[in-house]
A and B are shown apart, each in its own frame.
Chain A
Amino acid sequence: MKKIAFILNGEKRNVYVEPNDLLLDVLREKLGIKSPKYGCGRGDCGLCTILLNGKSVRTCLILAIEADGQEMLTVEGLSKDKLTPLQESFIRHNSFQCGFCAPGMIMTATEFLEKNPNPAEEEVKEAISGNLCRCTGYTPIIEAILDVKKK
C-alpha cells in the first residue's frame, strides 16, 4: 500500500492504494464519489469520465496511483454550491432519462465549453462522441449544450 495525496473537488484528500487499483474503483469505493459509473471498462463509453487537471479522462483506464499530486473534479464538486448553467440547461431540455451517462456527459461538456464557449453543432457532436447515451438519443443532449452559449 502506498499513500497518495491529491485535491478532490477542492479538498485535500489522501488514501492508501495498491499499484493495481483503478482510479474509478478508488473514487467509488474508498472515497465515496459515486458520480462516475462503471460501464465498459475499456474507455469506449465515457461513463467514468472526470476532470483530471481540468481535462476529461476515463478513470477506468487510470491507475489510482497516477493521481498522486493531481487535481480532480467530479459532478459532486462541480455543483457543490449550485447547479452550473450547463446542468440547468440539461434539466430544461430533459436531456437525460435514466441518467446513467449524465455524469460523463456533464464533465465532458464542462471541459468542452471551457475550451470552446461558442461551439457549432458539429463540434458538440465531436466533443461528446465516445460518451454513450442509452435513452434519449443524443438530440436533447446536443441541444442543451448548444443552448448554454445563448444564455
Chain B
Amino acid sequence: MAIAHEFEYFKPESVEGVIELLLKYKGKARLLAGGTDLVVRIKDDLEFPEAVIDIKGLTELGKLEFKNSRLFIGSLVTFNDLIDSKIVEGKFPLLWESSKTIASMGIRNRATIVGNICSAVPSLDSGPALLVYEANVVVKGSEGERVIPILDWFLGPRKTALNAYEFVYGITISLPEKRNGGSYVKLGRYNGEDLAQVGLGILALEGNEYRLAFCAVGPLPCRAKKIEALLNGKPLTDSLIEEAKNLVPEEISPITDVRATKEYRLHVAKIMFERGIKAAVERLNGKGPAYGKKLI
C-alpha cells in the first residue's frame, strides 16, 4: 500500500533546525527516526502530518555511551545497538533482555528505544525496564532543555509528557548503586513480530529491595507499588511469593482484545510474576538462567 497523502520532508542537521521546524508547523509535524511505527500510521491514515522531520541528520543523537556511572542513549540508538552493546549487556542486563524480545532483527535494525517511548503504546517492551531503572528522558525544545523522569512520562495510550514544540534528545539511566539482578518476562504468541500480551520487568536489588513494572495490562506501563511495598525489606520465600501473587490483580487492569482475554492475562500474569521474581533474585545471587533465556 502506498501512502495516500502528501507531506513535506526535512532532514535538519542541528537541534535548532529541528525546533525551528516544530515551531513552524505548530504541532502538525512528526519526527522520524526508524519509522517502523510512524510509517505504518501514515499508511493507515492514522496520522496526517504536514511535515516529516527526519532526525537522522543529527549524528550526535546516535550516541550510546557510559560515563560517570550513567548510560546515555541518544534518540537514534536502535534496539540492535542496545543488544550489541557489551556495556548494556553487562551493566543494564534487564534493558538488554527486554530489547531482545522486540520484533525481529530487521525491525530492531531501525526501531529506536526513544521512538518506542514516544509512541507510548501500552504494550511497549522498553517500558518496564526503563521504569524499574528509573530512567530520565532528556527533551529539547524552544524553551530549552528539560529532564522528565520516566515515572512521569507516560500519560495515556500514545500520550506522553512531551509537548508539540519539543523533541526527545535521549534517555539517561544511572547505574543502580546496589548490586542487582533483573528479569523481563514477556508473554507473546510467537517470536518475531508479536506484541506483548503481558510484559513484566523486575529488578531485585541487594538488601531485599524490589522494583516491578508491568506493560500491556493497563492503559500505561506502570510500577506495581503495592507488590513492591509488600516485598520490600523481606527475603524472598515461597509464602511471600504466594502473598504477592494475590496482589497481582489489584495492580493490573487487562482488557480482552484480539491477542488475549482479560482472564487469561490475569492468570498468566501471576505465573509470570512467580517465575520472574525467582529468576531476578537468583541472578542477583549469581545463579539462575542466563539473561535472554525465555522464562515463559
Q: State in angstroms the CA–CA spacing of A48 and B28 once bound together.
A: 30
Q: State in angstroms the CA–CA spacing of A43 and B43 once bound together.
A: 12
- Contact indicator A19/B52 (Cβ below 8 Å): yes
Of B1, B8, B32, B36, which is within 8 A of A58 by CB?
Answer: B36
Of A41, A43, A126, which is within 8 A of B107 by CB?
Answer: A43
Which B residues, 208 to 239, have Cβ-Cβ distances below 8 Å to chain A?
A: none
Q: Could you tell me the distance in whole angstroms from the C-beta of B219 to the nearest C-beta in chain A?
A: 23
- B52: A residues at CB distance < 8 A: 19, 63
- Contact indicator A63/B39 (Cβ below 8 Å): yes
The answer to whether the Cβ of B270 comes within 8 Å of any Cβ in the partner chain is: no
- Contact indicator A43/B36 (Cβ below 8 Å): yes
The answer to whether the Cβ of B35 comes within 8 Å of any Cβ in the partner chain is: yes
- Contact indicator A46/B106 (Cβ below 8 Å): yes
User: For chains A and B in complex, what number of residue pairs have CB atoms within 8 angstroms?
Assistant: 88
- Contact indicator A65/B192 (Cβ below 8 Å): no
The answer to whether the Cβ of A131 comes within 8 Å of any Cβ in the partner chain is: yes
Residue on A nearest B43 in the bound complex, by CB: A41
Q: Could you tell me the distance in whole angstroms from the C-beta of B148 to the nearest C-beta in chain A?
A: 28
- Contact indicator B3/A20 (Cβ below 8 Å): yes
Q: Could you tell me the distance in whole angstroms from the C-beta of A57 to the nearest C-beta in chain B?
A: 6
The answer to whether the Cβ of A5 comes within 8 Å of any Cβ in the partner chain is: no
The answer to whether the Cβ of B245 comes within 8 Å of any Cβ in the partner chain is: no
A20-B3, A130-B192 as given contacts; A56 in contact with B39, CB under 8 Å? no
- Contact indicator B40/A130 (Cβ below 8 Å): no
- Contact indicator A58/B110 (Cβ below 8 Å): yes
- A111: B residues at CB distance < 8 A: 105
| Band of interface residues on B | 20 to 34
- Per-position contact with A for B52-94: 1 when CB-CB < 8 Å, else 0? 1010100000000000000000000000100000000000000
- A80: B residues at CB distance < 8 A: none
- Contact indicator B7/A20 (Cβ below 8 Å): yes
- Contact indicator B105/A56 (Cβ below 8 Å): yes
Which A residues, 9 to 64, have Cβ-Cβ distances below 8 Å to chain B?
A: 18-22, 25, 41-44, 46, 49, 55-58, 60-63
- Contact indicator A56/B106 (Cβ below 8 Å): yes
- B206: A residues at CB distance < 8 A: none
- Per-position contact with A for B85-119: 1 when CB-CB < 8 Å, else 0? 00000000000000000011111011000000000
- Contact indicator A22/B40 (Cβ below 8 Å): no
Q: State in angstroms the CA–CA spacing of A65 and B3 once bound together.
A: 13
Of B6, B9, B40, B56, which is within 8 A of A61 by CB?
Answer: B40
- Contact indicator A43/B106 (Cβ below 8 Å): yes
Of A18, A62, A125, which is within 8 A of B35 by CB?
Answer: A62
Of B2, B54, B192, which is within 8 A of A25 by CB?
Answer: B2
The answer to whether the Cβ of B163 comes within 8 Å of any Cβ in the partner chain is: no
Q: Could you tell me the distance in whole angstroms from the C-beta of B215 to the nearest C-beta in chain A?
A: 20
- A43: B residues at CB distance < 8 A: 36, 40, 103, 106-107, 193
- A42: B residues at CB distance < 8 A: 40, 43
- Contact indicator A63/B35 (Cβ below 8 Å): yes
Residue on B nearest A2 in the bound complex, by CB: B9
Q: Could you tell me the distance in whole angstroms from the C-beta of B75 to the nearest C-beta in chain A?
A: 16
- B7: A residues at CB distance < 8 A: 19-20
- B80: A residues at CB distance < 8 A: 55
Residues of A whose CB lies within 8 Å of any CB of B are: 2, 18-22, 25, 41-44, 46, 49, 55-58, 60-63, 65-66, 108, 111-112, 125-127, 129-131
**5 tightest Cβ-Cβ pairs between the two chains A and B:** A130-B104, A129-B192, A19-B9, A130-B192, A20-B3
